[in-house]
Structure 1
Amino acid sequence: MTTRTERTEEIATHATLQAFGNSYLREIDMIEWFIPTDDENVWFGETACRIDVGTVYVLEIRRRSRIGRHEIGRIYRQTSCGWTEEAPLTFIIACCQHLQRLAPGVTDLLYRVLDSHRCMCHVIAHELNEPFYPETFLEYEQTVRFGHWFHPTPKSRVGMHDWEQVAYAPEFRNGFQLDYFAVNESLLTEASATDQRISEQMRKQLGSAVALSASERLLPAHPLQAQHLLLQPTVQQLLATNQLRHLGRLGPTYFATSSIRTVLQADRSHMLKFSIPVQVTNSRRVNKRHELTAGLVMRRLAEHISFPDGFSITHDPAYATVQTGADESGFEVIYREAQDDAINVAALVQEPLDQEPSVLASLVLKSKRADQSLSEAARDWFETYIELTLGTLVELYEDYGIALEAHQQNSLIRFEQGRPVSYQFRDNQGYYLARSNKNQLIHLEAALAEAPELFYDETTIKERLTYYMIWNHLSGLIHRFDRDGLLAESTMLEWVGTWCDQKSQILSGRGKDWLEYVRSRPTLPYKANLLTRLHALDELEVSGERVIFIEIDNPLHREVRHANDERTTCLQTTS
Structure 2
Amino acid sequence: MLMGRGASSPTKGGRYEEKLADELPVKTDELSANTAKNAVRSTRDSSLYSRTESSAENMRISESMAVRSLLNAFLRENGDVVEYPRKLAEAAERGEAFPLSLRLADGDRIRGMIRYASLTGQHLYAEGWMLERDGSVHPLTFDELAGVLVSELALRFHLGADQNTTAVLQRIRRSVSQLSGHLERWMEAGKAGRDVRRLDYITSEQSVFAGHPFHPYPKSSEGMSEPEQERYSPERGVDFALYYFAVHASELCGEWLPGEQSRAFPPEALAPFQQALSDRLGAEAEALYRPLPMHPWQALRLLERPWVRASIQQGKIIPLGPLGPRVFPTSSVRTVWEPQSGCGWKLPLEVRITNLIRVNTPEQTARTLDAARLTANLGEELAKELPGLLPETGYAGIIAPGEERTDPAFTVLFRPMDFEPAATFVLASVLESWPGEQTPKLAQVITASAQAGGDLAIPDIKHWLERYLRLSMLPLLRVWDRFGISFEAHAQNSLLSLKDGWPSCFYTRDLEGMSVDRELARKAGWVGRAIGEDSPLLYAPDEAWHRTKYYFFVNHLGSLIHALALWQGRSEREGWAVVRSLLLEERERASERLRPYVDELLNGETLPAKANFSSCLANKGDTPLYISIPNPILGERR
Structures share a fold, TM > 0.5? yes
Q: 1:371/1:122 Cα in 2 relative to 1: closer, same or farther (>3 Å)?
A: closer
Is 1:59 the counterpart of 2:112? The answer is: yes
The answer (yes or no) to whether the contact 1:13–1:89 under 8 Å persists in 2 is no
1:170 equivalenced with 2:243 (yes/no): no
> 1:350: which partner in 2?
432
CA drift at 1:18? 0.5
Q: Is the 8 A contact 2:243 2:323 kept in 1?
A: yes
Question: Which residue of structure 2 lines up, in the alignment, with residue 210 of structure 1?
Answer: 277
Structure 1 match to 2:217: 153
Mapped partners of 1:236, 1:99: distance in 2: 46
1:382 aligned to 456, 465, 475, which one? 465
Q: Choose from 347, 351, 366 the match for 1:278.
A: 351
- Change over 3 Å in CA distance of 1:357–1:205 after alignment to 2: farther
* Counterpart for residue 494 of structure 1: 577
1:91 maps to a residue whose letter is: L
The superposition leaves residues 302-356 of structure 1 with CA deviations (integer Å, 9 ceiling, x where unpaired) of 4252434673211210110001215441210011113312111111211223458
Report the Cα distance in structure 1 between the residues aligned to 2:292 and 2:467, rounded to whole angstroms: 43
8 Å CA contact retained: 1:199, 1:218: no
Percent identical across equivalent pairs?
A: 24
Q: 1:336 matched to which residue of 2?
A: 415
Q: Which residue of 1 aligns with 2:250?
A: 186
Contact kept, 8 Å, 1:12 with 1:117, in 2: the verdict is: yes
- Measured after TM superposition, the shift of residue 94 of structure 1 is 2.1
Instruction: Give the letter aligned to residue 253 of structure 1.
Output: R
**CA shift for structure 1 position 490:** 1.4
Aligned length: 544
Cα distance, 1:84 vs structure 2? 2.6
Q: Which runs of 5+ in 1 are unaligned?
A: 38-44, 540-545, 563-575
> Given that residues 304 and 444 in structure 1 are in contact (C-alpha distance below 8 angstroms), is that contact kept between their aligned partners in structure 2?
no
Corresponding residue of 1:103: 159
Q: Aligned match of 2:531 in 427, 433, 448?
A: 448
* 2:131 aligned partner: 77
Q: Deviations over 1:26-68 (max 9, x none)?
A: 112551322899xxxxxxx843231315443223333322111
Aligned ranges 1:241-252 → 2 under 5 Å: 241-252=314-325
How far is 1:440 from its partner?
A: 4.5
The answer for the alignment partner of 1:465 in structure 2 is 548
- In structure 2, distance between residues paired with 1:370 and 1:250: 42
CA contact (8 A) 1:150 1:472 kept: no
TM-score normalized by the length of structure 2: 0.79
Shift in alpha-carbon separation, 1:333–1:372, aligned structure 2, 3 A: closer
TM-score (ref. length: structure 1):
0.87
The whole-number CA distance in structure 1 between the counterparts of 2:163 and 2:469 is: 41
Residue number in structure 2 paired with 1:23: 73
Q: Structure 1, residues 365-401: CA drift from partner, whole Å, max 9, x if none?
A: 4548999985x71121111111111111111111111
Q: Secondary structure at the match of 2:350?
A: coil
Q: Which segment drifts farther, 199-208 or 431-440? A: 199-208
Cα deviation, residue 15, structure 1: 0.7
Superposed CA deviations along residues 280-310 of structure 1, whole A, max 9, x for unmatched, are 2222111122333423414523425243467
One-letter identity of the residue aligned with 1:210 = L
1:239 to 299, 303, 312: 312
Distance in 2, matches of 1:7 and 1:509, equals 57
> 1:526·1:550 contact (CA, 8 Å) conserved in 2?
yes
Partner residue of 2:626?
Answer: 549
Match of 1:292 in 2: 365
Amino acid at match of 2:99: T
The alignment status of 1:7 with 2:57, answered yes or no, reads yes
Q: Determine if the alignment matches structure 1 residue 394 to structure 2 residue 447.
A: no
1:480, 1:199 → 2: CA distance?
38
The whole-number CA distance in structure 2 between the counterparts of 1:64 and 1:406 is 25
**What SS class does the counterpart of residue 253 from structure 2 fall into?**
strand
Instruction: Give yes or no for contact 1:403–1:465 (8 Å, CA) kept in 2.
Output: yes
The correspondence for 1:535, drawn from 591, 595, 618, is 618
Give the match's secondary structure for 1:379: helix
- Aligned residue for 2:217, secondary structure, equals coil
One-letter amino acid matched to 2:124: E
SS state of the match for residue 203, structure 2?
helix
Q: Is the 8 A contact 2:342 2:417 kept in 1?
A: yes
Q: Give the SS at the match of 1:382.
A: helix
In structure 2, distance between residues paired with 1:86 and 1:281: 25
Helix, strand or coil at the partner of 2:216: coil
Contact 2:350 2:358 in 1 (8 A): yes
RMSD: 2.8
Against the structure 1 CA distance between its residues 521 and 231, is the aligned structure 2 distance closer, same or farther, given a 3 Å change threshold?
same
Q: Which residue of 2 aligns with 1:359?
A: 441
Is the partner of 1:246 in helix, strand or coil? strand
Paired letter, 1:21: L
2:259 alignment partner AA: D
SS of residue paired to 2:214: coil
Letter in 1 for 2:187: L
In structure 2, the residue matched to 1:318 is 394
**1:483 corresponding residue in structure 2:** 566
- Residues 36 and 271 (structure 1 numbering): CA distance in 2 closer, same or farther, change over 3 Å? closer
SS at match of 2:615: helix
- Conservation of the 8 A alpha-carbon contact between 1:27 and 1:528: yes
SS of the aligned residue for 1:446 comes to coil
User: Which shows bigger deviation, 419-428 or 223-232?
Assistant: 223-232
Contact 1:256-1:263 at 8 Å conserved across structures? yes
- Separation (CA, whole Å) in 2 of partners of 1:36 and 1:501: 28
Quick one: which amino acid aligns to residue 75 of structure 2? L
Alpha carbons of 1:147 and 1:510: their partners in 2 closer, same or farther (altered >3 Å)? Answer: farther
1:91 aligns with 2:145: yes
Q: Are 1:177 and 1:249, in contact at CA under 8 Å, matched by a contact in 2?
A: yes
Q: How does 1:365-444 map to 2 (within 5 A)?
A: 365-366=447-448, 367=450, 377-443=460-526
CA distance in 2, matches of 1:350, 1:451: 40
**Partner of residue 523, structure 1:** 606
Structure 2 unpaired stretches of 5+: 1-53, 88-96, 191-195
User: Does the 8 Å contact 1:57/1:76 carry over to 2?
Assistant: yes
